[in-house]
Amino acid sequence: MTIRKLAAGNWKMNGLTADIAEVEKLARAHPTPSCDVLICPPATLIAPMAQAIGTSAVAVGGQDCHATDAGAHTGDISAAMLRDAGASHVILGHSERRTDHEETDAAVRIKAHAARASGLVSIVCIGETLAQREAGVTLDVVTSQMDGSLPDGCTAADTVVAYEPIWAIGTGKVATMDQIAEVHAAMRAALEARFGAAAADIRLLYGGSVKADNAEQIFAVPDVDGALVGGASLKAADFGAIVAALGAA
Ligand code: PGA
């Protein structure tokens, strides 16, 4: 089965209205990309970005959602609100949220339920710390995070899983191709063991210092179906090069 790959940009807490021009540029430069292209800007930019790029090939997503649809939760945003603003995807359980907001696997799992109920695709993030890698427990950590963070009944239509070694995020330090291959193979096996045939085409993204100059090498690794890109997704030229490398992979 061929999986249509996904280049996902995570803008984190970066971007003002003027930066929407970068995504318009990206959409113009890649009108018919050979992979799916997604930008997850801060919540303030979801609606104007979705409007600005209209029916282009670039999709827009959120970076987190609350587990319930509405209510007394000051400062939170629900999956239904993201959808209403024009988002089709939401990143869940990013390591920065797990650290900054003490999000647990169980919390991520109920958010993924809420996202599915609102028709959003969840990009569920997992990844080990440097201490865990050095202790030799990486595969145990990532499979247990997947087990705890993914709701039952996941399919490719509602779920993407992103492997982001925490020590590789924003550090310029990329995992080796062998390390990526080993983890992605374990992720695929765990998905198939839990979800059966439905898991065969769930996309597995690598994230952590993906740039134009290492993208081609990373995309050649088996079971890498795309990338979750932080810093290099902010500028159309940088992210466009990654989109092109993924489309050619
Ligand atoms: P980075 O971030 O590409 O800047 O390392 C990746 C991420 O956190 O999703």
Q: Bigger pLDDT: 172 or 149? A: 149
Q: How confident is the model at residue 109 (pLDDT cuts 50, 70, 90)?
A: very high
* CB distance 190 to 223 below 8 Å: no
Atom number, ligand 1, closest to the C-alpha of residue 233: 3
User: How confident is the model at residue 121, as a pLDDT?
Assistant: 98
| pLDDT-based confidence at residue 1 (cuts at 50, 70, 90) | low
**pLDDT value for 91:** 98
Half-sphere exposure for 50 (CA within 13 Å, toward CB) = 18
**Which residue, 173, 49, 45, is CA-closest to 37?**
49
> Distance, CA 206 to ligand 1 centroid (Å)?
10
**pLDDT tens for each residue of 153-175:** 999 999 999 999 999 998 988 89
Ligand 1 cavity residues, CB under 6 Å: 10, 164, 169-170, 207-210, 228-232
What predicted TM-score, i.e. pTM, was given to this entire model? 0.97
Distance 97 CA to ligand 1 centre (A): 13
- Residue-wise pLDDT for 179-198, tens only, equals 999 999 999 999 999 999 98
Q: Which residues are catalytic?
A: 94, 164
- The count of C-alpha atoms lying within 13 angstroms of the C-alpha of 27, restricted to the half-sphere facing its C-beta, is 19
Closest residue by Cα to atom 2, ligand 1, is 230
pLDDT above 80 for 211:
yes
| pLDDT at position 199 | 86
Give SS3 for 119. coil
Q: Whose CA is nearest to atom 1 of ligand 1?
A: 230
111 pLDDT exceeds 70? yes
**Nearest CA-CA partner of 92 in 55, 66, 50, 124:** 124
Q: Kindly state the percentage of the chain with pLDDT values over 70.
A: 100
Instruction: Collect all residues with Cβ–Cβ distance below 8 Å to 217 and sequence separation of at least 6.
Output: 177
**Which of 92, 161, 210, 214 should be mutated for ligand 1, with most atoms under 8 A from CB?**
210
Question: What's the pLDDT at 53?
Answer: 94
Mean pLDDT of all residues belonging to the chain: 96
Alpha helices in the chain (DSSP H): 20-29, 43-53, 79-85, 95-100, 105-117, 130-134, 138-149, 177-195, 212-219, 236-248
Tens digit of pLDDT for each residue in 30-84? Answer: 999 999 999 999 999 999 999 999 999 999 999 999 999 999 999 999 999 999 9
What tokens were used for 104?
A: 């647990």
